[in-house]
Amino acid sequence: MMMATSISNMVIPFSKTLQPSLRLVGNNLPSHETHRRTQSPIRVAARDNSLDLVVEHNYKPKLEDHLKRLPEAWRQIHGEGDWAGLLEPMDPLLRTELIRYGEMAQACYDAFDFDPFSKYCGSCRFTPGAFFPSLHMSHIGYNVTRYLYATANINLPNFFNKSRWPKMWSKHANWAGYVAVSDDATSRRLGRRDIAVAWRGTVTRLEWVADLKDFLKPISSNGVPCPDETVKVEAGFLDLYTDKEDNCGYCKYSAREQVLTEVKRLLEIYRYEEVSVTVTGHSLGSALAILSGYDIAETVTVMGSGVGRGGVLVSVVSFSGPRVGNLRFKERLEGLGVKVLRVVNVHDVVPKAPGVVFNERLPAAVMKVAEGLPWSYSHVGVELALDHKKSPFLNPNADAACAHNLEALLHLLDGYHGKGERFVLASGRDPALVNKGCDFLKDHYMIPPNWRQDENKGMIRSNDGRWMQPERPKFDDHSQDMHHHLRQLGLLASSDI
């Protein structure tokens, strides 16, 4: 007998405004867990202001049962076998891990101060110790150990944000991401100690693609080690990663030096444990993730090759990322054992740039001839292509920038089960999150666009009743042992020693 149950019993945690207009039709499905066990996809059909969801009656293990596989399967989940057999159909454990790292990348946006009327514009709104709790992400089980900063002197104006006030926290720096490490309980659940590096991107604005210099230069020209001068990357990405500003406390070390020294420091702390390094980022942050993943493998883990029982697996989980380098860069990166999984929306223009003409889609013989050109690019790793037109929740005719939105991509991951399979929300992510920073959901869900905002624009009332911007604690610029780790990595010039 078919019976109706309220949306509150679904695995999909919709906002309360949606509950009266949605219903689930199924066979005695009283709980989240029963819903999660359905193997056949949910057929979704929108009718006026209601949504019919028909659940068929095959069953699969609960998500918790899949998570029990992680301590033994994490190397496969992180690409040791290049994700063979895990994408088609989508492995439930892999989906969960991809969404988890995507949320760590999304945290870079949620914590960033974009407000030009704040003197802290361009910085992180929270201290490292309060980072995940402030974002209601304490469950993530990681502790932030270091913030990363990039110099705003680079010609990528859509990446950098500055305060309009003359008195500001820094004239040269922008917060670019963070390094975090799994705590003891999470490490036991993951089956290893995980060092995560998350890079901030450019939200949904696409103009930054036009800011690219769009020419390749040897990665070794900016001091990144590589014995092959034909290994080249896009000049703007490389400059952003390697430039520094001596007159700025935050950027007196480059983003590259900051991330390498912190990863090396953590590898030394956990040298007797099995360790992974997972780098993630969205948009421009994806380019930085791929560059730093390469650099960690080339520079750091060579020195620490004895770390862990099986060696240090360096993986990159890239979301909506552009091409970074040429074919030789792809070959060098993959030869170092760096595993890259690129999650993209097929309607997003950013992954199609740079290298619109000469890229990996051309025949190998043509690319071989063109590899010396300054605009011949190649994507790296394995691609997972998603299509927002498959989701019944999303407006297929929305603004082009919506196709680049990270929350939308995580929504698509949640519903993807394989090519040709129907769209099923599997892990319980709230579709309302899609409209947090864009206007992508269909109107009949009644979720306002761009709904996420800070209360009172960050203003607070002082003891005397006046409204003011609160002061924030000053973050430490850099740790005292930076020179020690830079020296061990060979990144100090003789004049600096």
- Chain segment 152-163, per-residue pLDDT in tens: 767 666 678 888
| Pairing mode of beta strands 3-5, 23-26 | antiparallel
Q: What is the CATH number of the domain that holds 314?
A: 3.40.50.1820
Q: For residue 32, tell me if it sits in a domain.
A: no
Is 375 part of any domain? Answer: yes
Judge whether 175 lies within some domain: yes
For residue 254, the model assigns a pLDDT of 94
Q: Say if 464 falls within a structural domain.
A: yes
CA dist., res. 94 & res. 183, Å (int): 21
Positions of the chain with pLDDT lower than 70, given as ranges: 1-64, 153, 155-158, 203-207, 210-211, 302-310, 369, 475-477, 493-497
DSSP string covering 198-213: EE---TT--GGGGG--
- Closest C-alpha among 207, 229, 209, 211 to residue 219: 229
Rounded to 5 degrees, what are φ and ψ at 124? -85, 140
Q: So what's the pLDDT on residue 78?
A: 96
Determine, yes or no, domain membership for 432: no
Burial 440-455 (b: 16+ CB within 10 A, else e): bbbeebebeeeeeeee
Instruction: Write down the catalytic residue from 123, 170, 187, 283.
Output: 283
Confidence (pLDDT) at 484: 75
Catalytic pick among 348, 378, 379, 388: 348
404 included as an active-site residue: yes
Domain that holds residue 132: 63-386+454-496
CB atoms within 10 A of CB 227: 8
The model's pTM is 0.84
- For residue 419, tell me if it sits in a domain: no
Complete edge-to-edge strand list for the sheet that includes strand 23-26: 3-5, 23-26, 50-54, 43-47
Alpha-carbon torsion (394, 159, 256, 348), positive or negative: positive
- pLDDT tens track for 421-439: 999 999 878 999 999 999 9
| Count of the separate structural domains present in the chain | 1
Does any domain span residue 428? no
Residue 429 lies in a domain: no
Catalytic residue (choose from 388, 404, 417, 478): 404
275: three-class secondary structure by DSSP: strand
Q: How would you list the strands of the sheet with 275-282, edge to edge?
A: 142-151, 173-182, 193-199, 275-282, 313-319, 339-345, 382-386
- pLDDT (0 to 100) of residue 403: 95
Taken in order 305, 308, 311, 314, is the CA torsion positive or negative? negative
SS3 at position 67 = helix
Write out the H or E segment, with its range, that includes residue 342. Answer: strand 339-345
Task: For residue 379, indicate whether it is catalytic.
Answer: no
The predicted pLDDT at position 43 comes to 40
Q: How far is CA 329 from each of CA 182, 218, 305, rounded to the nearest angstrom?
A: 30, 9, 22
Does the active-site annotation cover 315? no
